[in-house]
Structure formats: C-alpha cells, structure tokens
Structure 1
C-alpha cells in the first residue's frame, strides 16, 4: 500500500491485526451498538449488523494505514441504505460513533506495549476522527437525499391518487377503493365533492389549510388544484354535516363554490365532480357564494348546454338587447327580482327599491319586447331560462 511508512510501522501492524480478526471485531461492535441503540435489536440480527459494519471498519482502518481521510464512499452507501429502511438518522450517526470509539480503543490496546507505536498512533488519531467527521457528513447528505427523493415520490403518488379519485381513471391497476385507502379515506360513509373557482381559496388559507382545519374537527378531506377549479372530497360526520361545511367554505373563499349531492360510497366520487362543478357554475361569475347542486339544477341545465341556452336568450331578448346597456340592465334586474319574489310585484319592488307599479310597467315593457307573457306558464319558463343564460353565460350570449 502506498503511504504505509507515513502511518508508522507499528500503527500499520496494529491495523493489519485488526483486519485479520475482522469477524470478531465487527461482531463486538455490533453487540455494543445493539446494547446502546435498542432500535437495532428489532432492525437487524447481530450478525447482519456486523456484516453492515464491516465495510465501514475496513474503510476506517485503511484511512489510518494511508494516514489520510479518503472520500467516504462507504458512508454514503450506508446513509442511503439506512434512509431507505427508515432507520432514524440520529440512530445511524450514534452507531458510527460507537463503532469508531471501539475501533480506537482496540488500536490503543494493540499499540500499548510498543511505545513507538503508541506515539505514532497519537499522530494517527486525527485521521481516524477526521474520517468519522467526513463519514458522518457524507452519510447525513446521502440520508437527506433519500428523504427528499421519498418525499418527491410520495407527493407524486399522492397527486396520482387524487387524480384517480376525482377522475375515476387509475394508471396503477388499483381500484378506487384501494386509492381511497392509500389516501386514508373511508370507503363508505357520507361524502360530498366541493368545487371552487381556481385560486378562490384565500391566499392565507389554501386547500391544504382547509384540509388541516377540517382534520382538527375530526373531518377527513383531500384537496386537489386543477386548471379550472379547486376540487375537494369531504367525508362528513354525524356532527359535521353539509350546513356546517357550507358555512366554513363561505368563510374561506373569495369566489364561487359548488357542493355536490351527498353520496355514500367513495367509488361514486367521479360522478359527483360534475355536480359540484355545475353547482359552482350556477352562480353568477365574480360572485362569492356557496351553492348546493340541489339548489342549482335549473341553472346547471343552462350551463350544461351553453350554446343552446345562449341561443334561447338571444332569440327571446333580441329586441331587449337593442336597448342601451343601462336600460337593458334595469329590465333584467326587475325580471330577476320578480322571479325571486315568487311573482309578487310588491315584494319585487322592495328588493330593488322601487314602487310595485314601476315593477309592473317594466315587466309589461319586457313582455312587449320579448313577445312573452309573464302570465303564461310556458312563456314564464322560457323567460326564466333565458334570463339564467344572460346571467351565467354573458360571453356566449353576446358573441
């Protein structure tokens, strides 16, 4: 070996003796590690631990012989292996210190009857302990690298699981029930899907915060950001029902939110997603409201067939659209208030702050322009659907 003379002949001889009796040395180190670190008792047998220790001991002794701390390749490999097995980093580093300390004691014992070798060993002490420092650093870096890789894999797995849950399409061959189990969701219960406008969750309380907040109340949920929406699946409880959920969602959002009907099997999640999206889209764009699908079925029909609905609005209100924008808006607001007031001119007047006779005048004008009579059930239906299209599909209606 190159550089042997620089380590001192007595030190080299001591190292070679230990290498010749490596089995006994590594078994003793394994025993000491298991004695001080109980984790290894369940993790490895003494022989398995001795086999794992062996490359590190050989590397340390070769460093002393060469009188230089080489690049700690063995330590990096050990760090990766222990991280992949889930051994705590502090436990691994402590085991390294135990092994190095015992190795030093054995070197001292081998050299104690030779004053010259003992003196030379003192010069080699810095090599051994510097090797421990370098090995610990390399081990820690490799360990952290594996943790980062695992976190990345976990986040990718979670993203894939969420995509499968909401779409119903899996790429792993697993069923939705298995996907739900991986996400720690119950397979049966009472569930709703929530859909909001993209980035409608407050910046200070993103979906992950909603998940944590609900979890603190004993409510399990998972959330996923998509290009056109934020999607969430919430597992309701006996004490946390849709009314409480709706109030909570209203408190953390700054846009439209839709909530699906309640369903009882996790595998029905993909079918509930369109309900939540249609309930969200039933609200006026730019508004801040939580809408249940059951409350938005008519509006959902309008948004589900945008071209047909926009065409109905253009045909029904063709002459109304010829009016100035302000006058046109007054007529539409009056019609909407009249529908909201269940056909009462007086109540509609209260909603828009005008006299009931003014409401009647505007409705009559709208009837003349549209050719639709508010007293006719068929015409009322057409007027209502056309008004919903104007409210929900402004771009399509005016295109």
Structure 2
C-alpha cells in the first residue's frame, strides 16, 4: 500500500489536469465556466489526489477535514451533492487506473483495490456530511425565538437551560468554551469564524452586537481547545478572550465572565487570543489596573519617562534578558547585538530603577512591572524628555 500512496503523492501535479478533464467530460457541473473556473477544478483535483493519498496512508483526520471544507465551498457555489459524489467516483476510477498502469504484482493490486474503494467511501461520507451540515445551517430558524435564546444563553433570563438548548440545537452536557471579542469600528471581532468552524464539523452559536460578539463552541476529541485558539488567532481583528473548559450549559454565564476577563488581559490594540487558564498574572493586572499602574510607575517610571526610542530599547532588552533566564549572552543573540551592549543597557535599567539585577526580589518586581506595562499598554503612551 505504501507504493500506491507514494505513487499518488508523487504524480499528483501530473495527474490533476488529466483528472480535471475527465471529470469535466462526464459531469456537467464541473465543466469550466458553469459553476467553477478551469483553474478551480484543477486545484480541486490536485487536493483530492493528495487527500486520497493521506487517507490511504491512514492519516485521515486532516484530509477528511479539508474534504469537508472543500465540499462546503462547492455547495455554496451551487455544485449539487450528486455532482460532487459523481466526481468522487470518477476520481476513484481514475486513481485505480493509474495504480494498475504502474503496478503489475497481483497481490499488491488485490490489496490496493479493496483499500482504494474503502477510501472513496470515506471521502464520499465526508462530502455528504458537509452538505448536510450546510443545509442544516441554512434552514435553522433565525427567528425572534432564536435571538431570545441566544440572549438567555449568555445573559440569563427566565428561560431554562433545556429550552435554550432545544432552540439552539445544543447538547445540555458536553465540552464547551465561551469566546468573546470587542468589535472596533464596526468590524467583526472574528471574521468568518462560524463558517470556518462549521466546515470543520464544529458546532458553535454566536450572539453578535454592535459592540462585540460572544460565542459558545462545542469541543470534541477531534477538535480541542488548542486547535480552536489557532482558528481564532487566524481570524481575530481585535483581542479575544477564551474561557476555561466547562461541561454544562448552566455554566455559560460564569464562562462568559472568564472570557471577558481574559480579553481584558490582552494587550490593547493587539489581536491576541488570551486563554483564562493561561493568563493568571495578566488577569490580576486587568482586575486592578489602577494599583498595577502605580506599581509599574514606581518601578519603571524613570525608564518610561525617557524618549520613546530609548525606553523601548531598554524595555526590550530587559524583556529579552528575563525571557532568556537572565543570560546576557542569550539575550544578545535574541536581540542581534553584542553582549557588552546588553550589559550596558541592563546597567542603565538597574541605575534608573534602583533595582539590583542580582537580587531575586528585585528581579521579580521588574518582571511584574514589565508585565503590567505590556498588559496596560503603558509603553505606548506619550513619553517625557530624555534623561
């Protein structure tokens, strides 16, 4: 089977145009200019060949996800599900013909025959799933009742969890997180995220307002919190907060508070995705910003009063030194400068702050103050004169 996989992967670029031509001949929906361009059909065929090879090699999770997303896009472009499945069958016959032309050993052909058609069945099911999910998404009620259920889910009300779950087609128990983001200048905080999650087979519901949006995402064994945060990072237009994982819809409002706190702990103006379970110090800072600001001023105030270029240089050097476990040499490599330059800058930091960089308690104060500066955006404020 390894030989078959290698054959398909190696010849994907070569086989794709021929497969595109064959599909266009036999299935009118894929003829160039009908619903898709010739380039789109050829690209589809190349991806299909690579995905088929991945599934043949038992590396199916990512491949099937890509198949579902491609099927969803074609469905939105008007390709009927019957046409998509017909194209898959044509592709299966095409791959099998290519395998027979390259391999003469009977035992390998017998093994490959069974596996190739099993893979076509798996890919067909993935396509069918994608079309069914999109159809469910399109026909779901977008009514006043749904809007009220979303509001009750995130903000509470007289409706019980069972009613809300029924209206929104959500499980009462599962693996959930809440996501929240503020909208800036009327832009969505997470552009296209619901469609993206739907394409990956992930259930989510979103409450959108002019000032921001909240989402409830149902995680699963094939889509965990780390993967979700990756998708959020790709689409964030502002800082995003993510709650800790919870398991009952009754906990949504607590989770929304966690997500909101995590969002506030992100750097102003950034597109950071901040997880509540990984941002304990920033959360403390965001919870008491005035006290935190006074602490940062007490420790780093003289540095922050320097001209912007100077204070950014000193703070970036201090940050690199801390991140490199107090190694001037490692910090110098990180900053692409000489070790002596790092030493000189750290000496200035010590002189301006009155802290001893060899004393753990002083280093802890510097670390916390620098974290406060980052979280509250203090380094971006107008500076005083250079000293």
TM-score of the alignment, normalized to the shorter chain, above 0.5? yes
Q: Give the C-alpha shift of residue 186 in structure 1.
A: 1.0
Q: Is the counterpart of residue 158 in structure 1 residue 146 in structure 2?
A: yes
Q: Is the 8 A contact 1:194 1:276 kept in 2?
A: yes
Contact 2:267 2:377 in 1 (8 A): no
- CA shift for structure 1 position 156: 3.3
Structure 1 residues 239, 357: closer, same or farther in 2, change over 3 A?
same
Q: Is 1:210 the equivalent of 2:180?
A: no
CA distance, structure 2, for counterparts of residue 397 and residue 252 of structure 1: 25
Partner of residue 243 from structure 1, selected from 217, 226, 230: 226
Identify unmatched segments of 5+ residues in structure 1: 1-150
Q: Which residue pairs with 2:367 in the alignment?
A: 384
How far 1:308 sits from its partner (Å)? 0.8
Q: 1:82-125 deviations in whole A, cap 9, x for unaligned?
A: xxxxxxxxxxxxxxxxxxxxxxxxxxxxxxxxxxxxxxxxxxxx
* RMSD of aligned Cα (Å): 2.9
Residue of structure 1 equivalent to 2:245: 262
1:364 aligns with 2:347: yes
Q: State the match for 2:256 in structure 1.
A: 273
Q: List per-residue Cα deviations over 1:179-233 (Å, max 9, x = no partner).
A: 2332111111111111223159976x966x4223323332111112245532111
Q: After superposition, what is the alpha-carbon deviation per residue over 1:239-296, rounded to whole angstroms, capped at 9, x for unaligned?
A: 1111221222222223322222211111111111232223333332222332322221
Q: Mark the structure with the bigger radius of gyration.
A: 1
1:378 Cα deviation from its structure 2 partner: 2.4
2:43 match: none
Distance 1:358 1:286 in 2: 31
| Equivalent of residue 174 in structure 2, options 180, 185, 189 | 189
The 5 Å alignment of 1:116-135 reads none
- 1:174 aligned partner: 159
Q: Give the 3 Å change call, closer, same or farther, for CA 398–286 of structure 1 in structure 2.
A: closer
Residues in 2 aligned to 1:251 and 1:259: alpha-carbon distance in whole angstroms = 15
Distance 1:158 1:375 in 2: 60
Q: Which residue of the partner structure matches residue 304 of structure 1?
A: 287
Indicate the SS of the match to 2:234. Answer: helix
Aligned length: 243
Contact 1:193 1:234 in 2 (8 A): yes
Please give the secondary structure, in 2, of the residue aligned with 1:318: helix
Closer/same/farther in 2, CA of residues 283 and 154 from structure 1, 3 Å limit: closer
Going from structure 1 to structure 2, the CA distance change for 1:340 and 1:178 (only over 3 Å counts) comes to farther
CA displacement at 1:398 relative to structure 2: 5.7
> CA offsets, 1:333-389, max 9 Å, x none?
111222222322222222222223322221221122112223333222221221122
Report the TM-score, using the length of structure 1 for normalisation.
0.55
Report if aligned partners of 2:190, 2:236 keep a CA contact under 8 Å in 1. Answer: no
Moved more, 283-292 or 326-335: 283-292
Note if contact 1:176-1:267 (Cα within 8 Å) is conserved in structure 2.
Answer: yes
5 Å-filtered alignment, 1:26-45, equals none
Q: Does the 8 A contact of 2:312 with 2:379 survive in 1? A: no
Flag structure 2 segments of 5+ consecutive residues without an equivalent: 1-138, 383-387
